[in-house]
């Protein structure tokens, strides 16, 4: 541990949402008797628009590098942004604090739903996954790129850049902006990104003391669900930008998974549901991912 024995430096993006999310983890650690300083780090995704062809890790790489270089002791990421291939030398020691994993529709005028949007309405998103599922549900919509953090996208919506936008429910809820939500989208209509709503806490693998400390706030059920969702994506050969959604849950020994794939033009949508024991979660998820890959182009 590079920081003092009872003081930890927590690396995070500097957006308001990222600071709120990192604060949730910091509070857990403070409850264990540690002092925690938040260290904002600028990522590639913060300094340039992230278009739909962007690769993995644009919101993660700079923070992971600071962790490897010893500039921070702990890093907090949105689990959906973490690349499938973990950075050598680092480990996700905890998954915690999962909020509503669904996507939400927010309209300029309010009081609308996906079904009731006007024909040809303009919907803003920067996600191939959301684009594909939106067009599968409403082929008449015009889906346009809309970049930026939550506050930026809300402002651009209000300025008329689109008739509606789709964002993660977790971000809106954590920022206390629930009044802007018009509809929480059914996962069978817009399947969430793997890991959406969960927080991933990363540390250096070689720092056994920190691994043990952070592992104490790990939620085993959240970990199982998120890792199964990510296994679906891994089996498709995709990245966190792929048009693949997955949502898993576990209650006692029962594991349930909804997974869906679609082409970014809205064609070829396939939804799969499986259920089994928690011991079989990884294999069930991998099988579903391979099925999606075999039957949907996922382009």
In a domain, 85, yes or no: yes
How far is it, in rounded angstroms, from Cα 104 to Cα 168?
A: 6
The closest alpha carbon to 235, from 282, 271, 188, 267, belongs to 282
- The reply to whether 202 and 241 lie within a common domain is no
In a domain, 66, yes or no: yes
Residue indicated by tokens 């594991």: 255
- The reply to whether 86 and 107 lie within a common domain is no
- The reply to whether 211 and 76 lie within a common domain is yes
- The reply to whether 59 and 12 lie within a common domain is yes
CATH of the domain at 113: 3.40.190.10
In a domain, 35, yes or no: yes
pLDDT recorded at residue 4: 55
How far is it, in rounded angstroms, from Cα 122 to Cα 144?
A: 7
Which DSSP symbol is given to 95? E
CB 141 within 8 A of CB 207: no
In a domain, 169, yes or no: yes
Interaxial angle between packed helices 220-236 and 281-295, expressed in degrees from 0 to 180 and rounded to the nearest 10: 30
Six token digits for residue 258: 């909804």
Q: Three-state DSSP class for 147?
A: coil
In a domain, 224, yes or no: no
- The reply to whether 179 and 208 lie within a common domain is no
- The reply to whether 21 and 73 lie within a common domain is yes
Looking at the 3D structure of the chain, how many domains does it have? 3
Residue indicated by tokens 């939106």: 134
Q: Could you tell me the pTM of the whole model?
A: 0.92
Q: Which residues contact 169 (CB under 8 A, 6 or more apart)?
A: 99, 100, 101, 102, 103, 104, 181, 184, 197
pLDDT recorded at residue 1: 55
- The reply to whether 246 and 263 lie within a common domain is yes
- The reply to whether 107 and 88 lie within a common domain is no
Q: Please, is 69 exposed, middle or buried when counting C-beta atoms within 10 Å of its C-beta (0-12, 13-18, 19+)?
A: exposed
Query: pLDDT per position in the chain (299 positions), as tens?
Result: 555 568 999 999 999 999 999 999 999 999 989 999 999 998 766 555 555 444 557 789 999 999 999 999 999 999 999 999 989 999 999 998 899 999 999 999 887 899 999 999 999 999 999 999 999 999 999 999 999 999 999 999 999 999 999 999 999 999 999 999 999 999 999 999 999 999 999 999 999 999 999 999 999 999 999 999 999 999 998 877 789 999 999 999 999 999 999 998 999 999 999 999 999 999 999 999 999 999 887 77
pLDDT tens digits for range 128-147: 999 999 999 999 999 999 99
- The reply to whether 28 and 140 lie within a common domain is no
CB 40 within 8 A of CB 170: no
How far is it, in rounded angstroms, from Cα 202 to Cα 74?
A: 6
How far is it, in rounded angstroms, from Cα 226 to Cα 248?
A: 7
How far is it, in rounded angstroms, from Cα 219 to Cα 221?
A: 6
Six token digits for residue 156: 């651009």
The domain boundary, picked from 128, 159, 184, lies at: 184
Helices first, then strands: H and E counts in the chain: 9, 13
pLDDT recorded at residue 53: 45
The closest alpha carbon to 195, from 89, 62, 68, 59, belongs to 59
Q: Domain limits at 240? A: 229-295
- The reply to whether 209 and 71 lie within a common domain is yes
């Amino acid at each position: 541990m590079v920081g003092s024995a009872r003081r930890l430096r927590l690396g995070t993006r500097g957006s308001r949402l990222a600071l709120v999310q990192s604060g949730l983890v910091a509070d857990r650690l403070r409850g264990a008797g540690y002092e925690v300083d938040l260290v904002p780090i600028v990522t590639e995704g913060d300094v340039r628009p992230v278009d739909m062809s962007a690769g993995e890790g644009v919101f993660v790489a700079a923070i992971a590098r600071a962790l490897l270089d010893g500039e921070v002791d702990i890093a907090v990421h949105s689990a959906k942004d973490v690349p499938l291939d973990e950075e050598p030398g680092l480990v996700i020691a905890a998954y915690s604090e999962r909020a509503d994993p669904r996507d939400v529709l927010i309209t300029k005028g309010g009081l609308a739903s996906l079904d009731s949007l006007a024909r040809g309405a303009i919907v803003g998103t920067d996600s191939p996954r959301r684009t594909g599922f939106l067009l599968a549900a409403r082929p008449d919509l015009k889906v346009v790129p809309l970049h930026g953090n939550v506050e930026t996208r809300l402002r651009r919506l209000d300025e008329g850049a689109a008739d509606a936008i789709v964002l993660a429910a977790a971000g809106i809820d954590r920022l206390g902006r629930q009044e802007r939500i018009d509809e929480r989208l059914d996962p069978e209509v817009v399947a969430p990104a793997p890991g959406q709503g969960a927080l991933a806490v990363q540390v250096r693998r070689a720092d056994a003391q920190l691994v043990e400390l952070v592992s104490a706030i790990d939620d085993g059920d959240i970990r199982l669900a998120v890792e199964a969702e990510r296994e679906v994506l891994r089996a498709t050969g995709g990245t966190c930008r792929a048009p693949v959604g997955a949502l898993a849950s576990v209650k006692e020994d029962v594991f349930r998974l909804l997974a869906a794939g679609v082409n970014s033009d809205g064609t070829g949508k396939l939804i799969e549901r499986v259920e089994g024991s928690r011991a079989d979660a990884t294999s069930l998820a991998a099988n579903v991912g391979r099925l999606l890959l075999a039957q949907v182009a996922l382009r």
